[in-house]
Amino acid sequence: MRFRHYDALRTFVTVAIEGSFTSAAADLGLTKGAVSHQLRTLEDQLGFKVFERMPRGVMLTEKGEALFDVARVAFGAIDRQIDGLRADGRRSVTLGLSTYLASRWLSSRLMDFLHTHPAIRLRLQPTIDLHHLQRDGIDIAIRWGRGEWTDMASERLFSCPAFPAVAPKVLDALGTDEPARVLTRLPLLHDRDDSRAWRDWFAVAGLSLDDRATTLTIRDPNVRVQAVIDGQGIALFDRFVEAELAAGLLQRLSPHMLEEYGYYLAFPPGSLANPDVASLAGWLREAAKQGSPT
């Protein structure tokens, strides 16, 4: 039987990415009931279940996992091709990265890419969540961390160790700059809910992380910087806050650093088959090699 339900298939991909009908419905602009109906229609035509319904969200079945792997690559390729056809004959590549890294490292290097690759239309897409790269039409992304993302290829672009920093006025108010004391009296700011960075740093520093510690997740790095300056907590930062350190807006709390952390290139499945994506990746590698990032 010829497969006809491609709208339902895209809905399936979105649900698999989001992990729940509710989130997928919000993303697609549909009701939860409409999403559920499309998936029932899809499963009826396929003749097998693609999801196991769980108390909280859904989980892919073995066959659903296999279908998801090929469907997300196919839809990503279609989206990229459409973008290219719309680009007035110029090929388009979308780079996803945080506005923090774009403004503090990449922006001063962009003209070189435009000069060396005039046939490629480069689009910068502010992004934080790697799970939505294909949905957002992103061909390649730069992400800070350890490169331990199992659902996509990644490679280190450059090392960028992290250290804890706090507003000096907060230390003055606390009357101490002893890390062990400060860390128990301020909220720990995270970049995402499942981040291991603080736990890794405490281990490096030889300190114990209390699971009951007050935490706050602020996903946008620029907002996180400002929150620390405003005295709202303590966060892990990298060399790109040197201006704030020099101006006395931030102060390093400890010499201990997460040496294994850095910025990584992350590739959605199938993206490197596009020669323009490969060209951008090559240019980024060369840009990273030209001295320490500043």
Strand partners, 131: none
Q: What is the mean pLDDT of residues 82-92?
A: 65
**Count of residues in the chain:** 294
pLDDT for residue 210:
81
For residues 240 and 271, membership in a common domain is answered with no
Q: Are residues 77 and 94 in the same domain?
A: no
Within a 13 Å sphere around the CA of 250, how many CA atoms are in the beta-carbon half? 27
Q: Which of 83, 250, 227 is nearest to 166 (CA)?
A: 250
**Does one domain contain both 71 and 129?**
no
Any domain includes 198: yes
Residue 274 structural domain: 90-152+262-289
**End residue of a domain, out of 52, 81, 110:** 81
pLDDT 10s digits, 140-152: 999 999 887 777 7
Residue 22, phi then psi, degrees to nearest 5: -60, -50
pLDDT at 294: 47
The mean pLDDT of the chain is 88
266 and 147 in one domain? yes
User: Of 10-19, 208-217, 279-288, where does the model show the most confidence?
Assistant: 279-288
Q: Is residue 158 part of a domain?
A: no
Q: Are 237 and 258 in contact (CB under 8 A)?
A: no
Q: Is residue 279 part of a domain?
A: yes
- What CATH number should be reported for the domain holding residue 33? 1.10.10.10
Pairing of strands 215-217, 188-190: parallel
Based on the fold, state whether residues 103 and 76 are members of the same structural domain: no
Note the pLDDT of residue 244: 97
| pLDDT > 60? residue 87 | no
Query: Does some domain include residue 26?
Result: yes
Per the structure block, which two tokens stand in for 29? 């602009």
Query: Structural domain tally of the chain?
Result: 3
Q: pTM for the complete prediction?
A: 0.70
The pLDDT value given to residue 44: 92
Residue 272: which residues within 8 A CB-CB, separation 6 or more?
Answer: 153, 278, 281
257 within domain boundaries: no
> How far apart are the C-alpha atoms of 71 and 86, rounded to whole Å?
23
Residues 284 and 234 both lie in one domain: no
CA distance 50 to 9: 11
Looking up residue 223, the CATH number of its domain turns out to be: 3.40.190.10
